[in-house]
Structure formats: C-alpha cells, structure tokens
Structure 1
Amino acid sequence: MDWRFVKAFGIRVPMRYGIHGIDVSRHNDRINWQRVRQMEADGVRLQFVFIKATEGATLADKHFDKNWREAKKSALRRGAYHFYHPTRDPLKQASNFIRHVELSPGDFAPVVDFEVTNGQSDKTIIDGLRLWLETIEAHYHARPIIYTNGNLYRRYIKGNMDEYPLWIADYSNPHLRNYDADKLYLWQHNQSGWVQGIRGRVDFNVFVMDEDRLGDICL
C-alpha cells in the first residue's frame, strides 16, 4: 500500500486508490461546500461525501437538508446515512430515514451506520438490522450499504448479511486483507483529517474497488 503524508489534509493517504471522499454530520457545524470542492492536494481531490441524515426512530440531523442541497450544487457525489440504535424499532428507524431523504440517480445507495450494540442480544441486533435493510431496499430499489468497524463486522455482519456492500472503518490496518474483497467498497481509513471549509476533524474515506464498479453502490 502506497501511503503518503498529505500536509494539507494533515494525514497519511493511501495513494493507490483514485476516488477519495469524506463523511460529515452536524458535529462539523456549517460547511462551506465550494471550498470543500475546490480543495486539492498532492493530486488528491475530494469526489464524494456521505452526510448524516437521521438517527434512531425520531432524530434528524439539523444540518442535513442544507448539506444535502449544497453537496449536489458543488458537484460532489453524495450519500445519506442513518445512525442505527438496536434498542429502537427498526421499522420506525427506516421510516425516519425515508421521511427525510429523497435520493436522485447518481446518489449513493442508503447507508446504515452500525457502531453501537446498546447491550442487545446478537439475535435482536441481526434481526433488527436485516429488517431495516430490507425495508430501505424495498423503498429505494437499491441495496443499502453497511458501515461498521472490524469487530462488529466479524461478530454480526459476516455470515449474516454478506449480500450487502460493506463500508469499513479501520484506522489501524495498513491493508484490507481481513475483509471480503468482493463486498468491500469503501474504507474509512482516518478520522482526523482537515478539509478547507469544514471546522474540526473530518473522516476520510476511499473507494477501494475498481473505479468502474462505483455504479454498483449508486442509484
């Protein structure tokens, strides 16, 4: 893996990949999208963004609507994600996302952000996640993407939801040999980058498949 420290981003970036992007939420406050789009350093340009839309059964990210609009205007490929709580009704969580997110052709498929277990049983977590995924797929006619970390992937996703595209958060590994290469599309490799136009630290991602496979995970 060819890693290079890119000073403008303040992090090491895996240069073997050609499509780089970020993800944001209300924690990043108000974003200047024109400046985000213009940023380029060491040949790396940001091409996509995932934006937090909803959480649980009732919460919506207060900056989502504006971020969603502005990301499209600045010609970044955009995706929306839902932060999943295993203690909440999966159907209500799916409805919450559907109520707030209208997708257009070219947008990424919906994403479930699965990073907390809230002390629930394996069965509750697996059954609930599957119900959310199936409900969302039926509505948008696109197979959702699962975002999670290595530990949760191994315990809950692997062997249970292998048909879904995977977006993995893994900051310690310089490689991706621990994951199914046929299903891994996105890698969040750092959570401490800097981007002009955005306050605070930003999560950095790369698309790890061949570039002509990008359409697999878009509407």
Structure 2
Amino acid sequence: MASKKKKKKLSWFIFFILLIGSGLMLFFGIRWYLYYRVATIYYPAFNIPIPKKYMIHGIDVSRYQDLVAWEEVKEMEDQDIKLGFAFIKATEGIGNRDIQFKRNWRRTKKAGIIRGAYHFFLATKDGKTQAENFIKTVDLDKNDLPPVLDVELTYGVSHDKIRTEVKEWLDVAEAYYGVRPIIYTNIDFYTKVLGDDFDDYPLWIAHYHQPGKPRIKRSWVFWQHSEEGRVNGIKSKVDFNVFNGDSTDFKNLLIN
C-alpha cells in the first residue's frame, strides 16, 4: 500500500513539473511570436517577414540560383521594399570559381544593382593561395562593395590554424584592393572559432528567425536574416539581407 502511495505521489509530481514546463514554453513561445510580429512585416511578394527599421535590403547568390534575370530583380518592389545590393559568390578554396560569377558580376552592374563578391573559405587550404584565387577572379570597381570572406566550417581543422589562415586571406586581400574586407559567418562560428581577434573587421552575420536584430554583442554591417526569400527573376529561394545604417553609411562603405 505504501509503495502505491509513493508511486501516486511521484506521478503527480512529474505531472506538475510537466505542466509548469509546458506553461513556461507556451508563455515564452507566445512572447517571442508577438515580439517577432511587432518587429517584422510580412511581404507577400518576397514570401518572408522582413525586419522593420532597415532602409537598405539585398540578396546573395551563387550558382545554386542558376541564371538570374537581374533586370527583374532590380524592378521588383513590394510596398516600400526594393533590393539595392547583391553579394555574388566568386570563388571557393584555391582553384574553384563559381560558374555563374562572371555573368552575375557583369549583369548586376548593368542592371544598376550595387554588387559585392565573396570567397567561400576552405579551412583545409592556406589563406594566401585562396586570396590569390579570389584576386585573379574579381576586379573591384568604384562603388562596388568591399571583398567578402565567407568562413563558416572548420572541416576538423584547429581553431588556431583557422584564425591564422583567415587572417592571411584578409591581409592579402586588403593589401591588393586597398580596402578592409568584410567577414561573413554565423554567430556560433564567430563566437567559438574566430572570437574577438577579428572585431575590427566589418561583419556580415547570418542569424535566422530573429525579430529585430541578430543576437551578437559586437557591431555588424550586414545581417542575413532569411534563406527563404522569393524574388522575380530568380527561380529558387534566395538569402535576404539588410544593411545596418542609412544611405550615407552605405555609400561610405563602397569602394571609392
């Protein structure tokens, strides 16, 4: 009999804990949802909610978006949102070049879209040779965005080694183009791998499903807030980004 009473008490205790846990999850879930709704506006044409309070919006593309009709991208508008810039994948590792880069690079400029080029970093390869691959591929002109290093995977390489090779890429690119490169990564990689060694570089941060801004303490210039966007002239889904500043700040970031 005593054993049955203990089991009954234990069952009620577990039920009580689960009830409290479910209530807290529901409370914080509703709270996050309401905050998300307040901080974003859903744009049907783009098929995503877009954070409020940002003036300048853009996308990033690679060969995975196939052939892009950049004139249609430029002309697209939903309410008060137009796309003002595009980051384009140029290179990867020590010898790979994106098969759509030349076409995208040429046609974004022709369409009147501010363009930027990025390199996808392979941690298993040395930074200098990777930077040379990018430099051989990308000619940056006046009013282009600074070069971008996309670094987000370790491939089992030590963090110290990654930081060394990343710094090498950044130094070589900066010496050649005469402008400080932008680092693209996600919050987890920046915090755990790069750390504060690169806090003086402009940051393009990826952090999805956040209501008003990415949850990172340091300053940032671009925020990739969604990978589910739809844009006229692009058949597949595309990443959406905002610039953290006004038109004057944006102009000052461009190569002069």
State TM-score, norm by structure 2: 0.82
Q: Secondary structure at the match of 1:148?
A: strand
**Bigger CA drift: 201-210 or 50-59?**
201-210
1:65 matched to 2:102:
yes
Output the aligned Cα RMSD. Answer: 1.3
In the alignment, is the contact (CA less than 8 A) between 2:56 and 2:247 conserved in 1? yes
In the alignment, the residues of structure 1 paired with residue 144 and residue 192 of structure 2 have an alpha-carbon distance, to the nearest angstrom, of 29
Which amino acid in 2 is paired with 1:176? K
Residue of 134, 148, 151 corresponding to 1:114: 151
Cα deviation digits, residues 145-171 of structure 1 (max 9, x gap): 000001011113331111100000000
In the alignment, the residues of structure 1 paired with residue 99 and residue 220 of structure 2 have an alpha-carbon distance, to the nearest angstrom, of 30
Paired residue total? 218
Structure 1 unaligned blocks of 5 or more: none
Residue of 35, 38, 52 corresponding to 1:15: 52
Structure 2 unaligned blocks of 5 or more: 1-37
Which residue does 1:155 correspond to in 2? 192
Residue of 103, 120, 125 corresponding to 2:140: 103
Cα deviation digits, residues 27-61 of structure 1 (max 9, x gap): 00001111110000021000000000000000000
Q: What is the percent sequence identity of the aligned residues? A: 43
Which residue does 2:205 correspond to in 1? 168
Pick the structure with more helix per residue.
Answer: 2
Q: 1:175: how far off? A: 3.3
In the alignment, the residues of structure 2 paired with residue 157 and residue 174 of structure 1 have an alpha-carbon distance, to the nearest angstrom, of 25
In the alignment, the residues of structure 2 paired with residue 154 and residue 217 of structure 1 have an alpha-carbon distance, to the nearest angstrom, of 24
Which amino acid in 1 is paired with 2:59? I
In the alignment, the residues of structure 2 paired with residue 216 and residue 87 of structure 1 have an alpha-carbon distance, to the nearest angstrom, of 34
Which amino acid in 1 is paired with 2:53? R
Which residue does 2:129 correspond to in 1? 92
In the alignment, the residues of structure 2 paired with residue 80 and residue 74 of structure 1 have an alpha-carbon distance, to the nearest angstrom, of 16
Residue of 244, 247, 252 corresponding to 1:208: 244
Which residue does 1:188 correspond to in 2? 224
Q: Secondary structure at the match of 1:129?
A: helix
Q: 1:124: how far off? A: 0.5
Pick the structure with more strand per residue.
Answer: 1
In the alignment, the residues of structure 2 paired with residue 124 and residue 105 of structure 1 have an alpha-carbon distance, to the nearest angstrom, of 34
Cα deviation digits, residues 163-189 of structure 1 (max 9, x gap): 1000000003223363245x3000000
In the alignment, the residues of structure 1 paired with residue 208 and residue 237 of structure 2 have an alpha-carbon distance, to the nearest angstrom, of 14
Which amino acid in 1 is paired with 2:67? R
Which residue does 2:161 correspond to in 1? 124
1:6 matched to 2:43:
yes
Which residue does 1:137 correspond to in 2? 174
